[in-house]
Amino acid sequence: MAKNILIVGGGLAGTIVANGLCRQLREELWSGSVAINMLSATDTHMYQPGLLYVPFGRVREAELFRDQRKVLDRRVSFIVDPAKHIDIDKKAVTTQSGKTHSYDFLVIATGSRIRPDAIPGMAEGGHWFYDLEGARKMREALAKFSGGRVVVNVNVPHKCPVAPLEIVFMLREHLASRGMLDKSEITYTYPIGRLHTLEPVAQWASAEFQRHGIKSEIFFNTKSVDAQGRTVTSEEGTTLPYDLLVTIPPHSGQQVILDSKLGIGGWVPTDRHTLLREGSSNVFVVGDTTNLPISKAGSTAHFEADTIVDNLASLIKEDQWARHYDGKVFCFVETGLNSGTYVWFNYTTPPNPGPPSQMVHWFKLAYNRLYWLSARGLL
Amino acid sequence: MSVKQKIDARGAFCPGPLMELIAMLKLVEVGDEVEVWSSDKGSVKDIPEWVNKVRHETVGITQQEGYWSIVVRKAK
């Protein structure tokens, strides 16, 4: 009987795991002693970080998408039928169509979703770029914008933790290029007492904000948005007027995690080193789905997925553990439309971003294309 | 009876202990407690400062071996 590996979720993390396992378990797949199945909600794979460029018309939407079957190794049995219930005790996953898939090893890679509906008025009054529909609407809003008060409003939890700063600098340059900077004002709000949770990034951003005349409001956790009156109010008691509200909505995990009672908020309790679900020895959790106190970002998903591939392949081939995940995260930071920097850290090494340069910006643009090699597990 | 959720944010640089706490407080009921473990000494100042600002309640701060345990009660 073949050992059945079931991957729930066809985003970056699930895809890297699937493709990596196909390479490491070549003989087992050929002999039929291992089978790899993936359940996904969609047949399309989207390059999510590319959404940042959509509001500024800096990317063609078609560039963000690939047919998931073409991104996946053909030895993966790919099923478009989203998981509705995960039963850890019975080692089975039930899908929307009512089918039940059993497994020997499960990889939960269901990801996160934005929840503008979680804050009163946000869906009506805010714009965002964290999904395609939102990014399109934000592009339309920017095209109509003739200057005024722009509030960039950050909420927790959210993925891609440097994107809020990137959008600020890109917005500023966009307004400058349209000749609207002198009649506009950008205010950035952040939930804690500095401009970014990473202290070196916060210090760098603070100097850049001062240099560019960007205002900020720290300790700002959004309580409500008044879409008619065009104001946004915080739990801390501050109200800001706006003409254009660009928000980073709070995120949650997927409904299937909540419905399966696998974790508060839809985040699955996960061991920080093994990436096993707490209490399980055959259930791995990867990417945004974990409850780990690290950035929800594509690079996190990538480094975690590589670790799971090594460990799962080693367990199947040698019945041994291979290595631990060290908490590694790497993020590019766009510091304008033509410059960028990067930051990396892990559980024991603090972040230390370098000075922005055009070279790093170009490298990020190159990575926007190289992403598809990452998803295929080649990079 | 109040429920205690635990956040092990030791070695967490991003999003960091306070951001983790803010996210968790959105998920628990009024009266529930959340215990944060942080290896960043700054949390001893940052967390009570924010908790005070939004009128939740800091129940206790204890220094353990290599980290601090900060317990917060959701008050509203």
pLDDT tens string B50-64: 999 999 999 999 999
Task: Give A14-36 pLDDT, tens digit per residue.
Answer: 999 999 999 999 999 999 999 99
Report H helices in chain A.
12-24, 26-31, 68-71, 122-125, 132-144, 163-177, 199-212, 255-259, 298-318, 358-375
Minimum Cα–Cα distance from A219: chain B residue: B50
B73 is catalytic: no
Q: How confident is the model at residue A170 (pLDDT cuts 50, 70, 90)?
A: very high
pLDDT of A355 reads 85
Domain residues for B14?
A: 4-73
Per-residue pLDDT of A118-128, as tens digits, reads 999 999 999 99
Q: Residue A51: is its pLDDT beyond 90?
A: yes
> Which chain B residues are closer than 8 Å to A191 by Cβ?
18-19, 22
- Please state, in angstroms and rounded to a whole number, the distance separating the CA atoms of residues A234 and A324: 40
Question: In the prediction, which pLDDT does A336 show?
Answer: 78
Q: Give the confidence band of A129 by pLDDT, cuts at 50, 70, 90.
A: very high
Q: Does residue B1 register a pLDDT over 60?
A: no
Give this complex's ipTM.
0.93
In this complex, do A156 and B12 lie within 8 Å of one another by their Cβ atoms? no
Residues on A contacting B at a C-beta cutoff of 8 Å: 118, 156-157, 161, 191-193, 197-198, 219, 221, 235-236, 250, 264-265, 272, 293-295, 327, 329, 345, 347-348, 350-351
Which of B11, B16, B27 is the closest to A265 by Cβ? B27
Count of beta carbons in the 10 Å neighbourhood of residue A359: 10
* Mean pLDDT on A358-373: 89
Q: Is the distance from CB of B15 to CB of A157 less than 8 angstroms?
A: yes
- The candidate with the shortest Cα–Cα distance to A83, out of A246, A253, A224, is A253
- The whole-chain average pLDDT of chain A stands at 95
Q: Does B27 contact A157 at a Cβ distance shorter than 8 Å?
A: no
Using CA atoms, how far residue A62 sits from A45, A54, A326, in Å, is: 11, 11, 35
Predicted confidence (pLDDT) per residue in A73-110, tens digit: 999 999 999 999 999 999 999 999 999 999 999 999 99
B52 at interface of A, judged by CB pairs closer than 8 A: no
pLDDT at position A257: 98
Q: Which domains does chain A have, with CATH numbers?
A: 3-111+254-328 (3.50.50.60), 114-251 (3.50.50.60)
Give the residue from B26, B36, B47, B54 with the most A CB atoms within 10 Å of its CB, the best one to mutate: B26
Q: Is A79 exposed, middle or buried (0-12, 13-18, 19+ CB in 10 A)?
A: middle
Encoding tokens for residue A85? 């219930």
Placement of tokens 């030791």 in the chain: B10
Task: Strands of A48-127 (E only): list them.
Answer: 65-67, 77-80, 83-87, 92-95, 100-102, 105-108, 112-114
**Closest C-alpha among A174, A188, A157 to residue A288:** A157
Which residue of chain A comes nearest to B9, CA vs CA? A293
Helices (H), A39-126: 68-71, 122-125
CATH of the domain at B11: 3.30.110.40
Residues of chain A positioned with their CB less than 8 A from the CB of B46: 192-193
- For residue A117 the two structure tokens come to 């509906």
Q: Are A330 and A374 in contact (CB under 8 A)?
A: no
The pLDDT value given to residue A236 = 95
Number of domains in chain B: 1
Q: Measured between alpha carbons, how far is A349 from A369 in angstroms, rounded to an integer? A: 29
The minimum CA-CA distance between A297 and chain B, rounded to whole Å, is 11
A96-to-A84, A93, A224, B42 alpha-carbon distances in Å: 6, 10, 34, 46
